[in-house]
Amino acid sequence: MSQTKILPAAKNAHQYPLLIKQLLLSGPRFSPDQEIVYANRSKYTYKDLVERINRLANALTEAGVKPGDTVAVMDWDTPRYLECFFAIPMMGAVLHTINVRLSPEQIVYTMNHAEDDVVLVHDDFLPILEGVRDDIKTVKTYIQLSDEDTAQETELETAGEYEALLANAASEFDFPDFDENSVATTFYTTGTTGNPKGVFFSHRQLVLHTLTMTGSLAASDEMPLLRSSSVYMPITPMFHVHAWGVPYAATLMGIKQVYPGRYEPELLVDLLKEHDVTFSHCVPTIMQMMLATDSIKTADLSNWHVLIGGSALPKGLCDAGAQLGIRMYTGYGMSETCPLLSATHLTPEDLELPLEQQTAKRVKTGIAMPMVELEIVDPSGNPVPHDGEAKGEIVARAPWLTQNHIKEPAKGEELWEGGWLHTGDVASMEPDNTLTIKDRIKDVIKTGGEWLSSLDLESLISQHPSVASAAVVGIPDEKWGERPYALVTLNAGEQATAEDIQQHLMQYVEKGEINKWAIPSQIDFAEDIPKTSVGKINKKLIRDQLT
């Protein structure tokens, strides 16, 4: 094609690379005295936040940190972590948010792989690092993070405790300009196999994610999550995709932020009440734990909006929340996508229904965010129809998707096959662009040219009165490609045969809900279904045991 027109800039014009330091301009200007709270421990203002970020940058410089270095953090969800979100990338260094839930072996793997230079570590996690100390290859110094008056004794060589270092550091720091494509953050995702994979995000990507998120979470009157009078408390770990990037957006707008530290359900509910929290985000499990507390029953939660992600929002959970007045929405994304790709989209008409009747809409994967292109494609990469039925893998383009897997170019190219980021999630899309996730692509059963959702089949089998739970996987089949296989556990004292289950599934064939070839020809019964360490069905193990 012909060339577009590019005109020269004046010699002295400022080019304005997109840098995280710019996200810190407006919040303190809008509301310098707004509070940032650390659980029931302490609080300070946005004015203090700016000064502490400056002090941290000086303390890290003193500890030897230079642009291009990697500084890792192992902390609970604290205002300290928020300070690291800003100060470390603003210096031109890379923030490595260590997943403290990994095994010590995996943690040390990620530290070596990311080539961490300095590590900020909370007292609670010192034993982990002390235990793998000899395997840590690149770290030159540690900084202790302590919630007590006296930091814990440690065998590690430390530059000191965080608060003491900040107190002794100068309160001004001149954060430099640099290439907006510089890496700002990195962290590792875990699959069911192999080593954790590193993803990374640039300053440009985080600025664009933040600006788009701010508009999206503010502008919808049906999902008014992030507004100047909001009170924000994250309940997804800050090590995991920057707590979904929301702390950056909250800081941009200068809204009140409450950091809970550890996730103790009673404490979380207390903080909700004390600070009249209006916006949180979490995975379903945490919400379940909070709903199970006694204290939540006496809380007025009619102004609490919660974005649920990480896994699908179960209907039952959304209903249980609705009974307490909690407004839940689905957010969709993954570590590779910074993360937000889509969210629940409600209309004014939806909101006219009683909250309990809005569940069907709230549990859908929703509509893509501004600036995001989402498509569902077949294995050849061709779009499948947006008819609410046809299933395809979700692929994405957006200004904030990880551009590669660190030091794993082959994995990076697989991720970006065909120039679209492959999410590994299988979904249908309705004519109005609403997505509903059906399965992980590795769990979907490819049979007779169709994709069967293993989750759908598990749900149908579970509706047999004798069945306690079911796991469905695809097993190779010469004629069909794959055929579904089911592993079933029965309720105590109940009995059923494979034929009973097949007979049960026939009713859904007759209703047109599934095709006949969706009925597993092989069904086994077991005492337990194998689970992974985080409680998900271990489908890989089930498949391995079959072949």
Catalytically active residues are 189, 336, 446, 451
**Residue 383 is a binding residue for a copy of itself (CB under 8 A):** no
**Residue 227 is a binding residue for a copy of itself (CB under 8 A):** yes
Q: Which of 319, 272, 258, 281 is nearest to 300 (CA)?
A: 272
Token couple for 362: 């709230």
CB of 293 to a copy of itself, least distance (A): 30
* β-pairing verdict for 118-122 and 70-74: parallel
Q: Which of 385, 366, 292 is nearest to 328 (CA)?
A: 366
**Residue 10 is a binding residue for a copy of itself (CB under 8 A):** yes
CB of 364 to a copy of itself, least distance (A): 14
Report whether 344 contacts 330 (CB < 8 A).
Answer: yes
Q: Contacting a copy of itself (CB under 8 A), which of 139, 401, 437, 514?
A: 401
Q: Which of 366, 345, 362 is nearest to 429 (CA)?
A: 366
**Residue 397 is a binding residue for a copy of itself (CB under 8 A):** yes
**Residue 265 is a binding residue for a copy of itself (CB under 8 A):** no
Q: What is the torsional sign of CA 409, 410, 416, 417?
A: positive
Q: Contacting a copy of itself (CB under 8 A), which of 131, 191, 383, 418?
A: 418
Q: Contacting a copy of itself (CB under 8 A), which of 13, 134, 511, 527?
A: 13
Q: Report the site for a copy of itself in 49-88 (rule: CB under 8 A).
A: 66-68, 70
**Residue 429 is a binding residue for a copy of itself (CB under 8 A):** no
Helix (H) or strand (E) holding 490: strand 481-490
Q: Which of 102-110, 215-223, 325-333, 525-533 is the region at the interface with a copy of itself (rule: CB under 8 A)?
A: 215-223
Q: Contacting a copy of itself (CB under 8 A), which of 50, 90, 183, 523?
A: 183
Q: Contacting a copy of itself (CB under 8 A), which of 79, 92, 237, 261?
A: 92
User: What is the maximum alpha-carbon separation in the chain?
Assistant: 83
**Residue 349 is a binding residue for a copy of itself (CB under 8 A):** no
Across 40-77, b (16+ Cβ under 10 Å) vs e yields eeebeebebbbbbbbbbbbbbeebebeeebbbbbbbbb
Q: Contacting a copy of itself (CB under 8 A), which of 95, 121, 252, 461?
A: 252
Q: Report the site for a copy of itself in 189-208 (rule: CB under 8 A).
A: 200, 202, 208
Residue at 182: amino acid letter: S
Q: Report the site for a copy of itself in 496-525 (rule: CB under 8 A).
A: none
**Residue 286 is a binding residue for a copy of itself (CB under 8 A):** no
Radius of gyration of the chain from its Cα atoms, rounded to whole angstroms:
25
**With respect to a copy of itself, which residue has the nearer C-beta, 220 or 466?**
220
Strands, E, within 103-182: which ranges? 118-122, 141-145, 158-161
**With respect to a copy of itself, which residue has the nearer C-beta, 184 or 287?**
184
